[in-house]
Each structure stands twice: as structure tokens, then as C-alpha cells.
Amino acid sequence: MKFSIGGSLKLAFRPWVEGLENVPAEGPAILASNHLSFSDSFFLPAVLDRKVTFIAKAEYFTTPGVKGRLTAAFFKGVGQLPVDRSGARGAGEAAIKAGIEVIEGGGLFGIYPEGTRSPDGRLYRGKPGGLARVALATGAPVIPVAMIDTEKIQPPGKVLPKLMRPGIKIGKPLDFSRYQGMDGDRFILRSVTDEVMYEIMKLSGQEYVDIYATAAKRQLAEAEKAAKEAVKAEIAAREESGA
């Protein structure tokens, strides 16, 4: 998969990379990245010599039929790990457990602290549950990563990507071993997460918004719904006055 998918991506899109030397040649580490596009999980592993394991919803691996088996094989091949996301709390615990297992196996664990893709290209507040808990439970270094322009290549809802060069900036590892074993302290979790997000912001140059991306998506959806209702009401009013 790294040869076929990764090689094809590098040949077609020619991503530029800064800071490759910050990823250790061996041993565990957490790659904490901003999240602009579905393709982020493919471009980052494509430029690294090592395998990066991300988590993905279990449905990608359990869908029946030929298409389901092909989808499962693809996601396994590109390093995605199935996690049952049927319950909010259960999903979070499953993701943390999966991350710890990858780290304890000496691997690279990729995670998006925002929890979901940015709805507008800005950087949103990191969720403290996953990233910080895995880091503090394992003592693994956290390497901040900034994906650049991937949202322009494949905006949400678009199937066919646009051929242009994305960028990847990899920062210096952050050591949180001083907090190891304190993963039950919510203030420590918040502090660790905010420090990582600050480093991602410096790398990416994104505007930072101090709310969760999920909340921003709800606000955008509500605003869009209100706008549609306003248009409908205006049309109805015009039809009534015309009648």
C-alpha cells in the first residue's frame, strides 16, 4: 500500500515537507495534526518511511459484500485501525486504548486533536480526552504536524481531488513525561492539549478559534437552516402578495 498508494500520491501531487528529521527512525511517537481534509490520513503516511496508524470508524471494516471487503482491505493497508464509535464515551475509550496499544508496540500513532475536520479552514480547540491521555499514559513524545492546503485539494463533499501541491510541516517533539501518570487530572489534560494546539497553530499559520469544531459545525448547520427557512418564507410571502 505504501508503494502503490503512497507512491502514486507523491508522483501526482508532489507534496512538500519540512521537518522530516523530527520523526524518529524507530520507537513510539504520537503525530498530532490539524485536520483539513479526508486526504490528510493519506498524505502524511505517504511522505514518511514508517507506518502511521490512525483510527477509523468500524463500519469501514465490517460492511458486507465485495465492496465492503475491498474497503476493509484498503483501510487496513493504509494503516487505519477500526474503532467502534457507537457511543460517545465508548468511542473515546476505544480510541485511547487503540492509541496506547500502538505506542506500546513501538509504532507511530496519528491523531487529530480537533476530533473532526475543520469546517472552514481555521484551527479549532483540541479535545483533551484522546491525545493527552495517550501521551500521559505512555510517556511517548508528541510531534505536532500541520497539513497545508489539503482542504483545497479535496473540499468536504467533493469526490474528485484537484491536482495541486499540499504541504506538511512537522514540528519538534514535545516531551510531557513530567506529567506521566496524571492522565486523570482534567486540568493537566487541558494544558497538554493546548500546548500541542499552540505548536500546530505556529506551524500551520491558521487562525485559532477557541471552540470545538463540532460546535462550529452545529452553528454553521443552524445558520444554513435558518437562511433556507428565510428564503422559503420570502418566496411564500411574494406568492401570497402576487395572488
Cβ atoms 148, 4 nearer than 8 A: no
Integer Cα distance of 145 and 135 in angstroms: 15
CATH of domain 2-209: 3.40.1130.10
Average pLDDT over residues 63-91: 64
The backbone region for 115, taken as left when phi is positive above 0, alpha when psi lies in -120 to 50, beta otherwise, is left
Burial class (CB in 10 A: 0-12, 13-18, 19+), 44: buried
Name the phi and psi angles at 108, rounded to 5. Answer: -100, 125
- pLDDT of 87 reads 52
- Are residues 44 and 33 in contact, defined by beta-carbon separation less than 8 angstroms? yes
Q: Which pTM was predicted?
A: 0.83
Q: Locate all alpha helices (DSSP H) within 4-130, ordered by sequence.
A: 7-13, 40-47, 59-62, 65-77, 88-104
Q: How far is CA 151 from CA 10, 35, 163, 167, 184, in A?
A: 17, 9, 12, 11, 35
Task: Calculate ∠ Cα 127-133-136, nearest 5°.
Answer: 135
Residue among 103, 99, 54, 57 at smallest CA distance from 82: 57
Compute the average pLDDT of residues 206-230. Answer: 88
The percentage of residues in the chain with a pLDDT greater than 70, rounded to a whole number, is 82
List the beta bridge partners of residue 55: 81
Instruction: Give the least confident one: 20-24, 45-49, 90-94, 209-213.
Output: 90-94
pLDDT band with cut points at 50, 70 and 90 for residue 243:
low
Per-residue pLDDT tens digits for 120-176: 999 999 998 789 999 999 999 999 999 999 999 877 667 677 888 999 999 999 999
* pLDDT in the model for residue 70: 65
Would you state the pLDDT for residue 77? 65
Q: What pLDDT sits at residue 145?
A: 98
- Across the range 226-231, mean pLDDT stands at 83
pLDDT score recorded for residue 183: 85
**Per-residue confidence at 208, pLDDT binned at 50, 70, 90?**
very high
pLDDT at 200 over 70: yes
Please give the sequence-ordered ranges of beta strands (E in DSSP) within the chain, or none if there are none.
Answer: 16-18, 29-33, 52-57, 80-83, 108-111, 123-124, 142-148, 167-170, 208-209
Q: 3-state SS of the chain: helix, strand, coil percent to 5?
A: 50, 15, 35
Looking at the DSSP assignment, which residues form a beta bridge with residue 145?
33, 170
Q: What is d(CA 26, CA 19) in angstroms, rounded to the nearest whole number?
A: 16
Q: Find the helix packing angle between 131-138 and 186-204, rounded to 10°.
A: 110
Tens-digit pLDDT profile for residues 103-115: 999 999 999 999 8
